[in-house]
Chain A
Amino acid sequence: MLNDILQSIPQVLIDGLTLGTVYAVIALGYTMVYGILELINFAHGEIFMTGAFIGTAMLIVLTGIGWVSALPAIVMLITVLLLTALLTGLLGMGIERVAYRPLRNAPKLIPLITAIGISFLLQDLVRFIAELKKGNYIVTGPSLFTSQIKINSSAISSVFNDASIKSSFIIVLVSAIIMMVVLDFFVNKTKWGMAMRAVAQDRETASLMSVNVNKVISLTFFIGSALGGATGVLFAVQYGTIDPYIGFILGLKAFTAAVLGGIGNIRGAMLGGLLLGVMEMFASANLTLMTGGVFGAEYKDVFAFAILIIVLIFKPEGLLGKPVAEKV
């Protein structure tokens, strides 16, 4: 059995890391907003979904007018990613401005309920528009980057099987990694990133440093939502078919990843996302084997979440979270 598990490792890692980077980038949106407002922005999953739809719509239109054949697909994808990021960024910023800011000083539960309300609103809005335009709310985009690449992992060691990757996997992986690296740099090395951390730690004092706190909060929503929306496009390219409800379960898992890594902690979100992705794919590949056929691959979420619960029992603050908030 161990042998079989080992054989599957290269494929598990490839699939797991790819799915994991998707979780990770979405988790960033949850964790950034939580870090700064202590708000669980449940609408973030729907921003991701909206991004998937906006991106798919653009790809369909661009394919329709013949751009796809005229330009390298990768150039088109980058254009679509950037435009979608801009639009979903603005959407997230707008949601904060209209729905959360007026509730800034209300009890925590109130904006949380509002966030759930926004989720439903976005789901229905996207569904309405999709049905209006396409007659169906389940939409399939043009298929891009479908070629398969073989990885000769058995050459490294004979215990491994060969693995294969769809080229879109590489695009997802590379884009997601770029987003994470850039964000990490922004947050840790730039002036506005520093302001963001300062606002997260002490909003009042940050304002005494001439920081316009509302601006920083808007910026946080913009960045988180832009990343989430762009990831939606990547998801659509990867899986082809989308519907207005993909944001729910994916959002929930990304949120889980954020908690796993330590909510509010940016690198924690990245780590949590990658771990969750790999655990899920590991379970999906090996659960049948490990349980002698009692549980099939469809129980992968149970496995992943069981691990999450175990981690949180022993480290409730998450993997990279600080045990106690430092208060001076």
Chain B
Amino acid sequence: MPFTLDKEEGIRYMLELKNVETFYSGIQALKGISLNVEKGEIVTLIGSNGAGKSTALKSISGLVKVGSGQISYKGNDITKKQAHETTLLGIAHVPEGRRIFPKLTVKENLLMGAFSVKDKRAIEERMERAFRYFPKLKDRLEQKGGTMSGGEQQMLAIGRALMMQPELLMLDEPSMGLAPIIVEQIFDIIRELNQEGITILLVEQNAYQALQIAHRGYVIQTGAIRLEGYGQDLIKNSEVREAYLA
């Protein structure tokens, strides 16, 4: 169960952000964000367009430079690490809009997820594992990623992230543009992955569903954390209801 102290290592949080500020050529997108994720949790970050959700994930994975503040992962400072380094530590980031490599085949997209893995057998095993969650991918191995439907691409994007065998999986709006039934499936799989031990940081605009499956949530507004709490409490919160669940 979540909410336990990792006493053995003496580290409380798997992921911890302290006063993180991030800028895009002078414009401040994150105005000092603090949040944390414990091992085994599903934590969601909700907020409206332009609030800074994607920027928060990019700051963690190292796709953007952090201006000030600190990010630590399993007790190590990763504030200054670049994306190709954080991913080696076990952080997988499924970016907004899925970002499948359009001209690579499904198989190649999956293999890219295991780029840092040298052992061929391990790669095979991971691929089999991805197929367990997304059996459809198995029949499409030679199809070009760009020709897959939106839902299939999202599955491929998550499957590709699973190839990294992450400990922390960050998902940026996985439900974006998908039919309700597909969204349902994706959320089920997220929950399943969590039950298998993967810690999840989920960015969503689909606040209701995200809060439903999350243990805890944060509400971000114009670059600052506005509210935080247990998922079920946030669903009942009047401010959240008005702004995001209307």
A residues adjacent to B (C-beta < 8 A): 191, 194-195, 197-198, 201-202, 204-213, 326-328
A327 neighbours in B (Cβ, 8 Å):
102
CA distance A202 to B164 in the complex (A): 18
A191 neighbours in B (Cβ, 8 Å):
111, 115
B102 & A208 in contact (Cβ 8 Å cutoff): no
A207 & B146 in contact (Cβ 8 Å cutoff): no
Pick the 7 closest A-B CB pairs, nearest first.
A207-B83, A326-B102, A210-B116, A326-B146, A205-B99, A210-B87, A209-B112
A210 neighbours in B (Cβ, 8 Å):
84, 87-88, 115-116, 164
Interface magnitude class on chain B: 20 to 34
Whole-angstrom distance between the Cβ of A251 and the nearest chain B Cβ: 27
CA distance A195 to B113 in the complex (A): 11
B104 & A194 in contact (Cβ 8 Å cutoff): yes
B residues adjacent to A (C-beta < 8 A): 61, 63, 82-84, 87-88, 92-93, 95, 97-104, 108, 111-113, 115-116, 146, 153, 160, 164
A201 & B115 in contact (Cβ 8 Å cutoff): no
Cβ-defined partner of B102 (8 Å) among A204, A207, A328:
A328
A198 & B153 in contact (Cβ 8 Å cutoff): no
A211 neighbours in B (Cβ, 8 Å):
84, 112, 115
CA distance A204 to B87 in the complex (A): 12
CA distance A209 to B86 in the complex (A): 10
B83 & A197 in contact (Cβ 8 Å cutoff): no
A197 neighbours in B (Cβ, 8 Å):
101, 103-104
B146 & A328 in contact (Cβ 8 Å cutoff): yes
B115 neighbours in A (Cβ, 8 Å):
191, 195, 209-211
B153 neighbours in A (Cβ, 8 Å):
328
B111 & A194 in contact (Cβ 8 Å cutoff): yes
A198 & B63 in contact (Cβ 8 Å cutoff): no
B97 neighbours in A (Cβ, 8 Å):
328
- Knowing A194-B112, A204-B95, A209-B115, the reply to whether A328 touches B104 (Cβ < 8 A) is no
B82 neighbours in A (Cβ, 8 Å):
207
CA distance A208 to B61 in the complex (A): 8
A209 & B87 in contact (Cβ 8 Å cutoff): yes
A201 & B104 in contact (Cβ 8 Å cutoff): yes
B84 & A205 in contact (Cβ 8 Å cutoff): no
B104 neighbours in A (Cβ, 8 Å):
194, 197-198, 201
A204 neighbours in B (Cβ, 8 Å):
63, 83, 95, 99
A205 neighbours in B (Cβ, 8 Å):
95, 99, 101
B101 neighbours in A (Cβ, 8 Å):
197-198, 201-202, 205-206
B102 & A201 in contact (Cβ 8 Å cutoff): yes
A208 & B63 in contact (Cβ 8 Å cutoff): yes
Whole-angstrom distance between the Cβ of B20 and the nearest chain A Cβ: 19
CA distance A194 to B112 in the complex (A): 8
Residue of A191, A202, A210 with highest tally of chain B CB at under 10 A:
A210
27 interchain pairs, CB-CB under 8 A:
A191-B115, A195-B112, A195-B115, A197-B103, A197-B104, A198-B108, A198-B112, A201-B103, A202-B99, A202-B101, A204-B95, A205-B99, A205-B101, A206-B112, A207-B82, A207-B83, A207-B84, A208-B83, A208-B95, A208-B99, A209-B115, A209-B160, A211-B84, A211-B115, A327-B102, A328-B97, A328-B99
